[in-house]
Structure 1
Amino acid sequence: MYDHFPISDRAKRMRETLLKFMDDHIYPAETTYKQQVAEGDRWQPVPIMEELKAKGRESGLWNMFLTHDAGEYKGAGLTNLEYGTLCEIMGRSSIGSEPFNCSAPDTGNMETIFMYGTEEHKATWLKPLLDGEIRSCFAMTEPGVASSDATNIETRIVRDGDDYVINGRKWWSSGAMDPRCKIAILMGKTDPEAETYRQQSMILVPFDTPGVKVIRPLSVIGYDHAPHGHAEVEYTDVRVPASNILLGEGRGFEIAQGRLGPGRIHHAMRSVGQAERALEMMCERAMGRSAFGKRIADMGVTKHWIAESRMEIEQARLLVLHAAYMMDTVGNKTARKEIAMIKVVAANMVQRVIDRAMQVHGAAGVSQDTSLASAFANARTMRLVDGPDEVHRETVAKLELKQYRN
């Protein structure tokens, strides 16, 4: 499949290395990871993950997400298309990304600081993030407003001399429960009187700043995703230097678009990988179980589920790769429609495939004895992450109709 897209020989070699690493290290560690989270302090780093990260550093696959390759902040220099093919492989496992320092939201935060931060920001925050020494969170969504329309965001960022003072409440700050979370990129209003898309700004908030308070962890259909987690966080009279603002006041939406485009590609390709894993589990279960005198795999409904899943996965993969190719060749702005389409298509596809796999597994599919239940919970959130389906559908429709207007 990938021969039809312009992927370098180096990227193909990285893909082979990653496939072998997953077989040799990631898949065998999944059960141990789950046990260690359950048995230890759920909000502390997991020993087996630290071992995997050490191996990941040595593999030559560390920081694959950073498409740039500049100076000391060195990334892999891959295209969006090339990295997308690697995301699919990492997405096959719930622990597949962190061993290579390629986990969200750190990846998006690192790209944001790389693209929009000052040299001081990079030295203070980007370097330890790239080195895997600290973690981060992204503070955008709020409980009090419909954050699918980010113009609703109410958190205030007010200039006071050489500082900005921040007040507001955020939630779904993924990574904020991790004790290694040292920096938040926060979006809030600096000027409520400015034109609509110039009211918002983004600012770096060290997580140990007085006034930053983690209120509670949030669960996803019963899963708290420890030790990384998602949190509700309160910011009360949080004072940070004015130099922590990114790009300047009123540039928040500009930064958000630069950050979220690649992130949506990454999410979509990981969803393809997750769906592939679910289809494998569905087929293996169907071949190994019998009911009413014949194998489940020989039942017509099962065959149809398998066929539908295979077709939907292939369609989604091609659409995602096409969107990534467009981003690389004509830029994120021109590829807006393709990016919006893949965000909807991949999120819905993976939920359907996992649901079928759960049905074939019967009671085991909704229990803790397989990864399907937690995968389903994660897949359901993908229809909300980085904007709900409805917002992306609106974007697609508007861009489609634009060509018919005089």
Structure 2
Amino acid sequence: MPVPHTWLGIAADDPFGPGTLPYGVFSTGDGRPPRVGVAAGAWVLDLAAAAYAQDAPFAEAVDAPVLDPLMAQGPETWRQVRESLTAWLTDPAFETALRPHLVERASVRMHLPFTVGDYVDFYSSQHHAANLGRILRPGQPSLPANWKHLPLGYHGRSGTVVVSGTGIARPMGQRKPPSAEDPEFGPSARLDIEAEVGFVVGVPAPGGGVPVSGFAEHVFGVFLVNDWSARDLQAWENMPLGPFLGKSFATSVSPWVVPLDALQEARVAPPERDPAPVEYLRDVPGDPWGLDLQLEVRINGEPVARPPFAQMYWTPAQQLAHLTVNGASLRTGDMYASGTVSGPEKEQRGSLIELSWNGEEPVELADGSTRAFLEDGDTVTIAATARGPGVSVIGLGEVTGRVLPAQG
């Protein structure tokens, strides 16, 4: 299916071309409150202003400082908005009416795009889980006994989810170096990143479970996540209840949410599962929700890893099914993340604990410096793209954060 041309003159390979049309929340510094926008090439369209100008039936749903009202409307409205946007931006008859509602993307400030409800982080890359098993449990099976039977995850802290560009203060906490007899208190010395993909719920579910087949009826869109991790804090606190302070200090998300409809060409079959999943986790034949996304991790502007999302063992549809199978409810704005994305090759590992093999093989940067873990002043950026219709590229934008000194 060819990508339509736009009167904005957007190149066919622009990651924010007419095949992407991601949603975000922006402000322009003119005193007006944040509002919903749609990225189109180098521009942002003020969606509510455009909708009112065209007397669109969904104008009130997009007239808000967050995406929540639009997300709650459901797939029929989501498709209606996207079809309208495509028509408005490709038919020259709309140019005169819509030009006044466009602003340059480089000039806007981006905000957290939705009100975060609950936050769950999964652990669904077999390569990542196996690497951590080899690093942290040498001589034992690399995967926990339950790993291939269900998508493992933990509940994160929604109140510290921040938008891309927010500075990340090095967390304080307890850590116990192997050589120490007692734990110490201070700033984390092993600050890490995790390159992940996030999914946000639009349509609520009061409980009772969302089947794998119901994924697209409830999930509004996709974005990027950096699940910052203090490995030394995490190691000391992890027994027996799992991640806590080593994870809860900050989770960064990209400002643009890409609708699922933009990723139809990127859908692929997930890896073969052995053993076969139990019934509620089985893929729907002919309706795969593996996604062929190519991530890139950069430290201070330099690429250090390119994790492939297509190799994730558990799909986002299976993650949602598992998240709700016990009767847990869904609310608009609930988000969940894939877990660290890693591939089989060293340059495909989505965290520094893997890239440096727990500090034994530091990553060398172009300026000659090395990183086992992050230093104050480091800037981490995670970007991602996917294949779109024809020769087009679907961009998920970037999530960026700069490490600040500890505040304690």
Give TM class, smaller chain.
Answer: under 0.3
Normalising to structure 1: TM-score of the pair? 0.24
More strand by share: 2
- Which of 1 and 2 has higher RCO (CA within 8 Å, sep 6+)? 2
Normalising to structure 2: TM-score of the pair? 0.24
